[in-house]
Amino acid sequence: MSAAVATEQAAAVLGGTTAGGALSGLAGTTGLAGLGGLAGAAGTTTTGPTSGPAQPGTGAALVESAKKYLGVPYVWGGESLAEGGLDCSGLVQLAFKDMGIDVPRVARQQMHIGTEVPSLAQAQPGDLIVTRGGGHIGIYLGDNKLLHAPRPGEQVEIREMFETDATIDTIRRVLPTGGPAQTAAGTVDVSRLAVELAAGGL
């Protein structure tokens, strides 16, 4: 099998990410530092259907992870269903944990992870929206919608955003918005995958 064909097959295995600069640039990137560096990287494109399951390790996958908890009661300090509910940062932490990624527990710590997104207009699904001086955090869904655990007496919900850049403390991108599958340890080494495909190892 030629290297070009192997690389294209590697791209297919990874969910349709095109070969070329995006693949070579991603090869070998590891760790949360790698995730931060990939977040918002230009030039990565995807092919194939626009619907279907989100690629693992992306902001879209975080959205899917968090949506499992819609309707769960708000409980101050709650970080697991065993406690009867979740608070805003407990929801964020649990959604990441379900993906195999550890993040800090409280919103004032979570507001410093990842990389900052300059404005709401540039926010993508899976970005974290922090308000109230770090007192509240939610997950951006796109289309001006926020998934969050609001307050006692309410439940994890999706609502239209009324916040603006003036009232948002920070927007954080912890995961890339798309691209190849990721793990908590880092990204797939696309070059190695292409070699294994060429050798018939996959």
- pLDDT tens across 153-169, in order? 999 999 999 999 999 99
Q: Which of 57, 89, 136, 188 is catalytic?
A: 136
Residue-wise DSSP of 29-84: -BHHHHHHHHTT-TT--B-S-SSSSPPTTSHHHHHHHHHTTTTPBB-TT-EEGGGT
Catalytic (active site) residue 148: yes
Beta carbons of 7 and 19 less than 8 angstroms apart = yes
pLDDT of residue 36: 43
The CATH fold assigned to 36-42+53-184 is endopeptidase fold (from Nostoc punctiforme) (3.90.1720)
Give the start-to-end residue ranges of the domains of the chain: 1-30+185-202, 36-42+53-184
At 146 the three-state DSSP class reads: strand
Query: Quick one: 73 exposed, middle or buried, by C-beta within 10 A (0-12, 13-18, 19+)?
Result: middle
Catalytic (active site) residue 136: yes
Q: Is the pTM of this model over 0.85?
A: no
Catalytic (active site) residue 112: no
Write out the chain's pLDDT in tens, 202 residues: 544 444 444 444 344 444 344 333 333 444 444 444 434 433 333 334 445 688 999 999 999 999 999 999 999 999 999 999 999 999 999 999 999 999 999 999 999 999 999 999 999 999 999 999 999 999 999 999 999 999 999 999 999 999 999 999 999 999 998 643 443 334 333 333 333 334 444 4
